[in-house]
Amino acid sequence: MCIFCKIIAGEIPCSKIYEDENSLAFLDIKPVNPGHTLVITKKHYQDIEEIPAEELAALITSVKRVGELIKSKLKVEAYNILENNGPSAGQIIPHLHFHVVPRYPDDGLSLWPSRNFEKEDFERIKNKLLS
């Protein structure tokens, strides 16, 4: 049983801020910023490819509610929604979850560097995706 399943089962405590029949949201124990929240499915799905579309729609609705809660109660103007899908993408716990990270002016966070690509690179990648 993964750590998130243990949290859902009540075996490990969490700082719960939202819950419905399909999802649970709680404060991250190693937050990027104050209010950093994880929104997880109550059923165990390893990643976004495993979850049925209708359950994903319900989960993203919970993510939206948490974002609205963070904006209104923590008085922030913005937040990031992140989902790391697989170990190479930074997924540490193999249970589908979204991060809702409050953003503050000049908080020093940078998501990722951008890169320059040539027109041929775009064409090559597009052709791979469409083939």
Structure confidence at residue 32 (pLDDT):
93
pTM (predicted TM-score): 0.90
Structure confidence at residue 68 (pLDDT):
97
64 membership: H or E segment, kind and range: helix 53-74
- Residues 36, 44, 95, 97: which is the catalytic one? 97
Q: How many residues does the chain have?
A: 131
CA dihedral 31, 45, 43, 27 (to 10 degrees): 0
The per-residue pLDDT for range 80-123, each reduced to its tens digit, is 999 999 999 999 999 999 999 999 998 888 877 778 888 888 88
Q: Where are the domains of the chain?
A: 3-130
Structure confidence at residue 120 (pLDDT):
87
36 assigned to active site: no
Residues ≥6 apart with Cβ < 8 Å to 57: none
Class of domain 3-130: alpha beta
- Contact between 74 and 125 under an 8 Å Cβ cutoff? The reply is no
Can you tell me the distance from the alpha carbon of 100 to that of 97, in angstroms, rounded to the nearest whole number?
10
